[in-house]
Chain A
């Protein structure tokens, strides 16, 4: 991918890409996107853009923020990177839009330098986004929903941030971290599937929510009457639900000042057959609700010691199968496969 090969007029615009995604099915998405690569092959240099702005504007590079040139020019911030990036000097010149030295007859194929420049930028980016300035740049993107929202239904469109599973480049692609369910997801579009996760790193996502605690959902959740009414947004009006979510936040306090200060989206899915909850005694009964559960009060978290044992064995029993908070839509008896003659 080269800036010198790009033409803004021939490349697919953002709208076109979104459109294509909306039209193609989950299965055929890969095929559709495969053609995208060819979109940039043209030959007009876009001279007004810096390399960094150009790089961040490429389709699939939406998650990157623009690293300030001051940061890159400070050698201290680059400590150790020159050993990881081939053609370091040429790559630096490219990233910083410096005219190459005249004696650079040894300059290899420009595409090799481009690959180095991309690696260099990615590794610098990993470091930049955990600085105060970089965190702020990513916070701006976060609030603009640039990274999208959690695909999990009961996270109620909580915004996510990009993250890596490794800090070493070349191992894994970028993932999305949801601060509400503390889980990681694959980006919804395959255009992010070529982005190295190390360019975001393992630390950024969590430092981000430590730094912006008002964006981090708290680890406890109690269904209030107001939360009950907006607990799951109807598909037709997702905007309304998020608006009312903001109202609720004003009244919310987490007693732990170092913890998440946002009201969590705490509902957990309950599987039902003909309106009856599937019993855990069934072989196919629920086994994973714990993964998404939150205690009702912050103090409940202290009932488990550091080894993961209950301090008071009977004390915890109130949490047993207590997910039927959704209000009385149906009787809550367990579904019995034998009695209904299904098995």
Chain B
């Protein structure tokens, strides 16, 4: 911090662009999913354990993202170093967003729907969260997790579709809801947790406590003490129809799926989750 303040005084003519690597990186098009990793976190070498073997030119890459790179080598190496710096920042980012402060930063972005919204119609524009399919870099691109339908979607824009999923990791969204269970979204109704969760067109299910819960809680999923055992019963689903009649084979599959659901609800109610 102090160093930056000094730098600001001495190199007044420099544009913001070159001054702070991280803010440049975060403001670049396509990097909207990333949050800012706090400098303290990066400067604590303990947090970077093992990354030196993942990144070539590790120390220069680290210098670059912390704005400590010598101006002399900056020009010659900058091109190749930039790739390494992105990799290093991404890998640090994956570790950072599963810390308490990182989760909080990503939560702010989630609340602003920075990661887009679920394309599934019945999820009613539920905000998404980024997730990786693997924690190993250069394997799979980033996907988006919807906490309402609990499924994965591809980013709409190819710009985001080419980001490495390992920069977000496989655990992040699930850890978020583990730590903030009151933020688990309701399975029906508008995603705004302050609005009433109405659900029309759902099947009446055999769950014992289910019915009371369907009628009882208006802001389901927001209370610390609210059970999620029967949450799935509120989920709306699409039913294909031809001239108003259900399609036989699909209706059969859907009945089977709902029987699976009902059995899980019964199991969870017995466990008193």
Assess A281 versus B268: contact at CB under 8 Å? Given A26-B116, A288-B151.
yes
A260 within 8 A of B: yes
- Interface locus among A69-77, A83-91, A297-305: A297-305
B211 within 8 A of A: no
Assess A25 versus B121: contact at CB under 8 Å? Given A206-B242, A284-B184, A287-B232.
no
Assess A287 versus B187: contact at CB under 8 Å? Given A25-B29, A185-B119, A206-B242.
yes
Residue ID in chain B nearest A235 by CB atoms: B141
Interface 1/0s, chain B 241-272, versus A by CB < 8 A? 11110011110111111111111100110010
From the candidates A27, A259, A304, name the one contacting B113 in the complex (CB within 8 A).
A27
- Interface locus among A101-109, A120-128, A137-145, A268-276: A268-276
A55 within 8 A of B: no
A212 within 8 A of B: no
Please, how many angstroms separate the alpha-carbon atoms of A203 and B245 in the complex?
A: 9
Which residues of A159-214 are within 8 A (CB) of B? Answer: 165, 175, 177, 182-186, 188, 202-203, 205-207, 210
From the candidates B152, B232, B238, B268, name the one contacting A269 in the complex (CB within 8 A).
B152
CB neighbours (8 Å) of A273 from chain B are 171, 174-175, 178
B174 adjacent to A153 (CB under 8 Å): no
A151 adjacent to B119 (CB under 8 Å): yes
CB neighbours (8 Å) of A27 from chain B are 32, 113-114, 116
CB neighbours (8 Å) of B155 from chain A are 26
CB neighbours (8 Å) of A26 from chain B are 116-117, 155-157, 160
B235 within 8 A of A: yes
B15 within 8 A of A: no
B237 adjacent to A153 (CB under 8 Å): no
B154 within 8 A of A: yes
Residue ID in chain A nearest B176 by CB atoms: A284
Residue of B119, B139, B160, B171 with most partner-chain A CB within 10 A: B119
B203 within 8 A of A: yes
Please, how many angstroms separate the alpha-carbon atoms of A153 and B140 in the complex?
A: 12
A232 within 8 A of B: yes
Interface 1/0s, chain A 277-303, versus B by CB < 8 A? 010111111111111111100001101
A80 within 8 A of B: no
CB neighbours (8 Å) of A343 from chain B are 178-179
Please, how many angstroms separate the alpha-carbon atoms of A287 and B177 in the complex?
A: 13
Assess A275 versus B170: contact at CB under 8 Å? Given A182-B254, A188-B156, A286-B150.
yes
In angstroms, how far is the closest chain A Cβ from the Cβ of B134? 9
In angstroms, how far is the closest chain B Cβ from the Cβ of A342? 6
B149 within 8 A of A: yes
Interface 1/0s, chain A 11-40, versus B by CB < 8 A? 000000000011111110000000000000
A342 adjacent to B175 (CB under 8 Å): yes
Residue ID in chain A nearest B147 by CB atoms: A284
A300 adjacent to B121 (CB under 8 Å): no
Assess A152 versus B141: contact at CB under 8 Å? Given A22-B159, A281-B268.
no
Assess A21 versus B261: contact at CB under 8 Å? Given A202-B241, A203-B242, A280-B268.
no
Interface 1/0s, chain A 230-262, versus B by CB < 8 A? 001011100000000000000000001011100
B119 adjacent to A186 (CB under 8 Å): yes
From the candidates B122, B161, B273, name the one contacting A283 in the complex (CB within 8 A).
B273
B120 adjacent to A316 (CB under 8 Å): no
Assess A290 versus B257: contact at CB under 8 Å? Given A25-B32, A232-B133, A278-B174.
yes
A309 within 8 A of B: yes
A151 adjacent to B154 (CB under 8 Å): yes
In angstroms, how far is the closest chain A Cβ from the Cβ of B36? 18
In angstroms, how far is the closest chain A Cβ from the Cβ of B224? 9
A293 adjacent to B260 (CB under 8 Å): yes
A183 adjacent to B170 (CB under 8 Å): no
A320 within 8 A of B: yes
B55 within 8 A of A: no
Residue of B160, B232, B257 with most partner-chain A CB within 10 A: B257
A308 adjacent to B152 (CB under 8 Å): no
CB neighbours (8 Å) of A234 from chain B are 139-140
B249 adjacent to A151 (CB under 8 Å): no
In angstroms, how far is the closest chain B Cβ from the Cβ of A206? 4
In angstroms, how far is the closest chain A Cβ from the Cβ of B96? 15
CB neighbours (8 Å) of A177 from chain B are 238, 240
Interface 1/0s, chain B 176-203, versus A by CB < 8 A? 0111010010010000000000000001
Assess A269 versus B263: contact at CB under 8 Å? Given A22-B158, A287-B231, A294-B253.
no
Q: B: which residues have CB within 8 A of A?
A: 29, 32, 113-114, 116-117, 119-122, 133, 139-141, 143, 145, 148-162, 170-171, 173-175, 177-179, 181, 184, 187, 203, 227-228, 231-232, 235, 237-238, 240-244, 247-250, 252-264, 267-268, 271, 273
Q: A: which residues have CB within 8 A of B?
A: 21-27, 151-154, 165, 175, 177, 182-186, 188, 202-203, 205-207, 210, 219, 232, 234-236, 256, 258-260, 269, 271-275, 278, 280-295, 300-301, 303-304, 306, 308-310, 316, 319-320, 337, 342-343
State the 8 A-B residue pairs at the shortest beta-carbon distance, nearest first: A235-B141, A290-B261, A219-B253, A284-B177, A288-B150, A153-B152, A259-B249, A26-B116
Task: Identify 20 residue pairs between A and B in the complex whose beta-carbon atoms are under 8 Å apart, listed by A's number.
Answer: A22-B157, A22-B158, A175-B121, A184-B121, A184-B122, A184-B238, A206-B247, A210-B242, A234-B140, A235-B140, A256-B249, A289-B150, A301-B252, A304-B252, A304-B259, A316-B263, A320-B263, A342-B175, A342-B179, A343-B178
With A210-B242, A288-B150 given, can you name 8 additional A-B contacts, CB distance below 8 Å?
A152-B152, A210-B247, A258-B248, A281-B273, A284-B184, A288-B148, A308-B262, A316-B259
